[in-house]
Structure 1
Amino acid sequence: MEFGIWLPVYGGWLRSLDAPTAPDVAACLAIAQQAEALGFDFLYASENLLNCIHGPEESVADAWTILAAIAVVTSKVGLCGAVKPGFRSPFLVARMLDTLSKIAERKLGMNIVCGWWKEEFDLSGVDWLDHDGRYDRAAEFLRSLYGLFQPPAMVRDATVAEAGLEHDIEIDHSPSYGLDQSALPEVWIAGHSDRAVQMAAEWGNCLFLNGMSDEELKRRIETVRQEANSWGRTVLVAANAYVIATETTEQARQRWKSVISRRNSQTIDFFRKVIGGSGAAAWASLGEDQMVDSNAGFELGLIGSFEDIRQRIPKLQAIGLNRIVCQFDDPMRDAGPFMKNVIRPLRESRAIELAE
């Protein structure tokens, strides 16, 4: 199991009355450095041009600018950022990735997010398409991106073919545009719909899901892996989790109850209307309590004592989950105890099992 941290590019992750509602760039850099020192596997920066947690009147930090800054002050922690096809062209993204990979000196991740907020599309001058149309655009984006980084290496020479030679001679006519093929990122696909699963199976390295029940998670994992197998491929699965890990179960439970009691119903109602008109499947059935967290993070079940969560994570792994992308109320305060009391003991236990 790999563990990552969502960078707070929108401010606090909760739609609660006392949550910070603006991004703190300095905090993002500090969190990144701390995450690397603690031993987290990766950092994730989501891309929205409007603040999708607290509303359009609030600021938001650009994901790829933040990742470029983090690449300078870290050396090994994985970096993954979201991209919305249509907002950036495949060639622009290829050039961004090529440059950032040189700064970071490590392989990058890129999460394809098709988008669900019409106002964001309208303000950006990007055509608002229906759900399937947005996935069609994303598929074309990926085809173009792969083609830029991995163009057909050789093409049959027409002169040789016309000469009727017994063996074809193939000559490289494909431009590389100066792009380093090693900068092609690990591709994540975000979404719950059939189209998202199909795209992950055909094009992606990792399907990124919101929090959900174990039964639903198992079903989606089985589906994407069956689809991927039909393409002769394998796909990892990541899921979002809001983490409240404390010394006792009751402490965690009380913290969760406090969060729910402070939910910002006005903001939740606003986003329920926005999402309702988008055709996005991921949030269609969520209740008000579930929407306090932006990606149904409570549903993955990482709320409890350190011991509770140490027992919970192997169950998720047994279902087939490979990565957990953690949201914390305060990463600088909470990530360290989570690593010390949950992740490290699990890693040590796993190392002992493998050695036996």
Structure 2
Amino acid sequence: MPARRCAKTCGRTDGMAQSISRTDRSSLPACGIWLPVYGGWLRAHGFDTPPSFGTCLAAARAAEAAGFDLLYASENLLNCLHGPRHDVLDAWMTLCGVAAAAPNLALVGALKPVLRPALLAAQTIAGLDQIGQGRAALNLVCGWSRDECEEAEVAWRPHDDKYTHASAYLDRLEASWSGHGDAPRRALFNGRPRPEIWLSGHSNAALALAGRRADVLFVNGMSADDLAAMRARLDRAANGRPVRLAMNAFIVQGETDDAALRRRDGLLARANRDLIALYGRAMTESGAESWRHLPEADLIDGNGGFAPGFVGTADTLRRRMKHYAEAGADIVLCQFPDMDTDITRFGRSILRAADLEARQA
């Protein structure tokens, strides 16, 4: 696939899986947004707004207009930011609902193998792919919440066993999409054999599976040095097979760097420490490698988004993103404090500006 904008080639008609690749925006990574299926993005006072489809739809429209490359919806049956009694939207139904509002963006949904039978998941993803005309992709998330498994009445698996199960689960998904063997057929758009497959995780088990089967490894936010080390680990696990690297980041933009830093500090000062402690314990108990030894600032959002330090003016953020591209980031999935205004500001001042520079080069 050409590297320009995945958005321009998402609806392929040649039967091949789409590929979300680095753009040619002066070496910036491809950029996506997290749809706010949990409500506000921080475990902080004032962010516990209930999720709504209307908010997700508005975010999708804003991302389309602002020049982003993809939409991402996370799957949890229990709200992982604001507590298990808070509502949460279904990732796949939300993506189906916003697909028409963002016709140029890839549609990436998280999928927990433990929560959905493989045939049901194959059918759900095929349905989204038909609606989006070849734009669906899935991110396998093996899960960290024991409480979620108990509420869903499914068995909790030890950490490495989850990845063994995920590999067999992928076999069943691909058999349904391709029609090979005796599996019931669930056809993707234009008969393509498989969508793009992401996998989340930091552990050796996660990287081994990503190296063998995934197109993209999705990791939490981290320092550029740590990302470069993750890139090296992934390359070793892939053994020459091309696997791209996606990272989470929480974006705090301001008119000046000092203003952005003050804005970030104000967000951190509103941290809900009881919620952070609750999820810190749950993540530690899960055995997940990605959550070990994280400070409170990295637990205020769901995926270590403050760790990359994407805080500053448009110029500062652009330089920061280029630095991360050089460290190995092919895709950055963005969260914002204010979904109403920050998506548009970031897109206009960074993505559209870089598009213009690329056309003039």
TM-score scaled by length of structure 1: 0.89
CA spacing shift, 1:200–1:339, aligned 2, 3 Å: same
Q: Is the 8 A contact 1:108 1:183 kept in 2?
A: no
Aligned partners of 2:266 and 2:224: how far apart in 1? 25
Aligned residue among 224, 229, 233 for 1:214: 224
1:69 counterpart = 2:79: no
Aligned partners of 2:135 and 2:343: how far apart in 1? 24
1:241 counterpart = 2:249: yes
CA spacing shift, 1:352–1:150, aligned 2, 3 Å: same
Quote how far apart the aligned CAs of 1:126 are. 1.2
Partner SS for 1:331? coil
Q: Is the 8 A contact 1:221 1:237 kept in 2?
A: yes
Q: Is the 8 A contact 2:261 2:312 kept in 1?
A: yes
Correspondence for 2:7: none
Aligned partners of 1:222 and 1:65: how far apart in 2? 36
Partner SS for 1:313? helix
1:143 counterpart = 2:198: no
Quote how far apart the aligned CAs of 1:349 are. 3.5
Partner SS for 1:337? helix
1:207-246 Cα deviation digits (max 9, x unpaired) = 0010001111001111112221x2x520111000000111
Aligned residue among 197, 209, 219 for 1:187: 197
Correspondence for 2:56: 28
Aligned partners of 1:223 and 1:347: how far apart in 2? 32
Aligned partners of 2:228 and 2:186: how far apart in 1? 42
Correspondence for 1:293: 301
1:314 counterpart = 2:306: no
Quote how far apart the aligned CAs of 1:332 are. 1.9
Quote how far apart the aligned CAs of 1:351 are. 4.5
Quote how far apart the aligned CAs of 1:258 are. 0.4
1:58 counterpart = 2:66: no
Structure 2 unmatched runs, 5+: 1-28
Structure 1 unmatched runs, 5+: 153-172
TM-score scaled by length of structure 2: 0.88
Higher deviation after alignment, 39-48 or 288-297: 288-297
Q: Is the 8 A contact 2:179 2:185 kept in 1?
A: no
Aligned residues: 331
Quote how far apart the aligned CAs of 1:294 are. 1.3
1:274 counterpart = 2:282: yes
Q: How does 1:74-85 map to 2 (within 5 A)?
A: 74-85=102-113
Higher deviation after alignment, 335-344 or 177-186: 177-186
Correspondence for 2:125: 97
Aligned partners of 2:136 and 2:312: how far apart in 1? 32
Partner SS for 2:341? helix
Aligned partners of 2:36 and 2:135: how far apart in 1? 22
Q: Is the 8 A contact 1:132 1:195 kept in 2?
A: yes
Q: Is the 8 A contact 1:10 1:59 kept in 2?
A: yes
Q: Name which structure has the greater RCO, CA cutoff 8 Å, separation 6+.
A: 2
Aligned partners of 2:255 and 2:169: how far apart in 1? 46
Q: Point out the structure with max Rg over C-alpha.
A: 1
1:4-59 Cα deviation digits (max 9, x unpaired) = 00000001111111113421211101111121122210000000000000111111
Aligned partners of 1:314 and 1:205: how far apart in 2? 22
Q: Between the two proteins, what is the percent identity of the paired residues?
A: 36
- What amino acid is aligned across from residue 150 of structure 1 in structure 2? S
Aligned partners of 2:47 and 2:179: how far apart in 1? 47
